[in-house]
C-alpha cells in the first residue's frame, strides 16, 4: 500500500508531460527512482528480522543475536561473573549498553533507541539483582 502511494506521488509530475517527447526523456530516471525506493523497502523489511534473545538462568546467561545478513552470534557466561555497563556518554552511541564476561564484551540492543537501552539496562540490573549478586 505504501509503495503504491509512493509510485502515485512520484508519477504525478509526469502527468504534465503526457503526450510530449519530454516524457520519454524523464521516464528512465523515474524508473530508477522507483527501483531505488523498492530496494529500500525490501532492505527495511529484511532488517526487521534482526533481533537478540537473552535468556537468564541462575547459573548461565545466554545472548543469541540473529542478523538476517550475517551468521547468528551466540554468547554465554555465568551471571555471577558478568558486568553490565551503560555508557551514557563516550560510547559509540548514546546509552551504549554492554555485557562483559567469559573473556568478551558484547553490545546489547544496538538496534534500540537510547531510551529503550536505558530501560533494558534497568530491567537487566533488576533481573540480575534477583540472582543475589551485586550490580553496577
Residues 43 and 61 grouped into a single domain: no
Q: Which domain holds residue 109?
A: 51-129
Give the mean pLDDT of 87-100: 90
Q: Is the pLDDT of residue 1 over 70?
A: no
Question: What's the predicted TM-score (pTM) here?
Answer: 0.68
Q: Is residue 135 part of a domain?
A: no
Give the torsion sign (CA, 34, 36, 39, 45).
negative
Number of domains the chain is built from: 2
DSSP output for 23-52: HHHHHHHHHHHHHHHHHHHHHHHHHTT-EE
Q: Is the pLDDT of residue 115 over 90?
A: yes
Residues 43 and 62 grouped into a single domain: no
Residues 34 and 63 grouped into a single domain: no
Q: pLDDT tens across 34-81, in order?
A: 899 889 988 888 888 889 999 999 899 999 999 888 899 999 999 989
pLDDT of residue 132: 65
Give the mean pLDDT of 84-89: 91
Residues 16 and 43 grouped into a single domain: yes
Amino acid at each position: 500500500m505504501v509503495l503504491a502511494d509512493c509510485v502515485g506521488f512520484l508519477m504525478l509530475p509526469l502527468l504534465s508531460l503526457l503526450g510530449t517527447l519530454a516524457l520519454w526523456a524523464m521516464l528512465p530516471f523515474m524508473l530508477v527512482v522507483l527501483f531505488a525506493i523498492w530496494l529500500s523497502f525490501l532492505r527495511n523489511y529484511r532488517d526487521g528480522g534482526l533481533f537478540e534473545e537473552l535468556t537468564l538462568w541462575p547459573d548461565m546467561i545466554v545472548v543469541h543475536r540473529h542478523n538476517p545478513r550475517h551468521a547468528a552470534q551466540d554468547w554465554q557466561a555465568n551471571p555471577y561473573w558478568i558486568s553490565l555497563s551503560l555508557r551514557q556518554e563516550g560510547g559509540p552511541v548514546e546509552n551504549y549498553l554492554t555485557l562483559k564476561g567469559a573473556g568478551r564484551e558484547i553490545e546489547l540492543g544496538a538496534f534500540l533507541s537510547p531510551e529503550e537501552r536505558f530501560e533494558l539496562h534497568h530491567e537487566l540490573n533488576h533481573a540480575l539483582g534477583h540472582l543475589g549478586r551485586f550490580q553496577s
